[in-house]
Structure 1
């Protein structure tokens, strides 16, 4: 059973912080969903305008894809990065298979977030504030773990790709901002956000 040789402490701290932010967003959205059930028709605290709101997202079928509110997935899912980060800081060294499974889980989360972004922008025509917080942390967590895993050989890749991943790992912030810009441009082109605000 191959294990990683180093303890990625910076990644661990990042996973804990991002997971905590994700938990807060998921919890806030869950409270808003409960508000829609207990006080139907009332505006939510995250409803700022026709464009920037979470009510439309929470009340849509996209807001409960698996038969229950999506924020519950976040409450359960964000525990994983926090637990992994805490374990690393406590001295844990994970086997390659663990990193692969963790990365697959994050890839699933990113895929779901990309689908939710597309539904929010192209179908619902809204930007949900707490949803955007979730998007904002899911993207860099996936990038960080994937680049770490490729550079350390936890995911199969040639030596050249591992070197590229290692170099890109140091550029995580600009890569993340580039992803945010793509989403912002798409939202602007589709929703004319600047004029609507």
Structure 2
């Protein structure tokens, strides 16, 4: 067992929040996919403009990389994150290998999301609102989980490294904001007025 006796409440709460938001986004995308299949030629409810829409993403090969709609991965995977969040809050202690598997899953999700961001901006030239919601929670979940795996001893046994990772947790929000800014900059440089589209959608 590697998880310290102290319950990492903040991390557990974040996993629950991220799981709920991520699952809801994936669920909404799944509904939109069903709608498109049942109503060919119709636009989805998340269609805002040519640059901000779900239709093009859902209809592309990138939207079904493994032969089925990507949102189905989220509907399943975010439930695992929810269970982990509840377990962390409950003080459940998992063996090192279990945390390692969870870390691999989160890393895989982060890599997949980074690839989807690149495909969306540079290949499809459009941004999907529900996809962006998924990106928004996956990125900080990766940062927080990586630090947590160092903090709980999964990634090394050094006491100094564990303490340092614990202190770095407070910087996850800033790292997340910088990551968001990077995505916005990428979209702007690619000719997609992401910031203007989002502001227009809100107001």
TM-score where L is the length of structure 2: 0.91
Residue 185 of structure 2 corresponds to: 185
Q: 2:190 is paired with a residue of what secondary structure? A: helix
Deviation by residue 1:85-137 (Cα, 9 ceiling, x = unmatched): 11222331112211111111000000000000000000000010000000000
Q: 1:169 is paired with a residue of what secondary structure? A: helix
Residue 28 of structure 2 corresponds to: 28
TM-score where L is the length of structure 1: 0.93
Residue 74 of structure 1 corresponds to: 74
Please report how far the alpha carbon of residue 26 of structure 1 lies from its aligned counterpart in structure 2 after TM superposition: 0.2
- Does the CA-based 8 Å contact 1:19-1:82 persist in structure 2? yes
Please report how far the alpha carbon of residue 73 of structure 1 lies from its aligned counterpart in structure 2 after TM superposition: 0.1
Change (3 A) 1:196 1:16: closer
Deviation by residue 1:123-156 (Cα, 9 ceiling, x = unmatched): 0000100000000000011111111111232212
Change (3 A) 1:117 1:165: same
Residue 133 of structure 2 corresponds to: 133
Residue 94 of structure 1 corresponds to: 94
Residue 170 of structure 2 corresponds to: 170
CA RMSD of aligned residues (A): 1.7
Q: 2:91 is paired with a residue of what secondary structure? A: coil
Change (3 A) 1:74 1:194: closer
Distance 2:47 2:157 in 1: 45
Please report how far the alpha carbon of residue 64 of structure 1 lies from its aligned counterpart in structure 2 after TM superposition: 0.3
- Does the CA-based 8 Å contact 2:121-2:190 persist in structure 1? yes
Unaligned runs of 5+ in 2: 198-203
Q: 1:171 is paired with a residue of what secondary structure? A: helix
- Does the CA-based 8 Å contact 1:96-1:154 persist in structure 2? yes
